[in-house]
Amino acid sequence: MSDFIGIDVSGIEEIQAKLKKLPAEVIGAGIDEANVYLVNVLHEYPTYHHVSRKQAYPEVGGWFSDKQRRYVMGAIKRGEITIPYRRTQELAKNWRVYGKGIDSIIANETPGAAYVQGNSRTEQSRMSKMIGWKGIDVIIVERINRIVEKFDAGVKKAMRKLGL
């Protein structure tokens, strides 16, 4: 798995048909406005509470293999992992919009980001869910009404600007 989360919205044919009737500049303004909102939402961290590996993965005693356990213990010894865990805000800082308008994408290239905020059904780790992280799919579903409001506001602003 790569260390990359990207958001690509597809489907929703009736909305896409309506959008095709608008100038690209207007659509782009709506997308840009929605992107700004979504990135701000993705910058929010859940309240931290400790979840042990044993709690998250009781069926394997917290470790999937002795090799994994040795790797983690070695990383602690080498100073690559610190105990107790301290939040660095790197995940939040690395949510970015690349490009503009219709050619834009929201992505996070933080190593391991997919295990923390990736798709809750396919990428996100059980431990991250238990700590309180929401997968990107869950966040979008929960915030879809506000995302659409932001998109609409951007479209209306661009239409006024263009005199449409």
Do residue 37 and residue 114 come from a single domain? yes
Do residue 30 and residue 76 come from a single domain? no
Under 8 Å between Cβ of 145 and 36: no
Do residue 122 and residue 98 come from a single domain? yes
Which residues contact residue 92 at a Cβ distance below 8 angstroms, ignoring those fewer than 6 apart?
Answer: 42, 43, 44, 45
Do residue 94 and residue 140 come from a single domain? yes
Do residue 124 and residue 150 come from a single domain? yes
Do residue 101 and residue 75 come from a single domain? no
Do residue 70 and residue 144 come from a single domain? no
Do residue 44 and residue 94 come from a single domain? yes
- Give pLDDT, residue 1: 42
Do residue 139 and residue 158 come from a single domain? yes
Under 8 Å between Cβ of 49 and 58: no
- Give pLDDT, residue 81: 85
Do residue 44 and residue 58 come from a single domain? no
- Give pLDDT, residue 14: 65
Q: Which amino acid is at 10?
A: S
| Enclosing domain of residue 98 | 5-48+90-162
Query: Tens-of-pLDDT digits for all 164 residues of the chain?
Result: 445 555 555 556 666 777 778 888 999 999 999 999 999 999 999 988 889 889 999 998 888 899 999 999 999 999 888 887 778 899 999 999 999 998 899 999 998 899 999 998 899 999 999 999 999 999 998 998 899 899 989 999 999 998 88
Cα 87 to chain centroid, rounded = 17
Under 8 Å between Cβ of 95 and 45: no
- Give pLDDT, residue 42: 94
> pTM of the prediction?
0.80
Q: Which two tokens stand for residue 143?
A: 């915030």
Do residue 44 and residue 102 come from a single domain? yes
Number of structural domains in the chain: 2
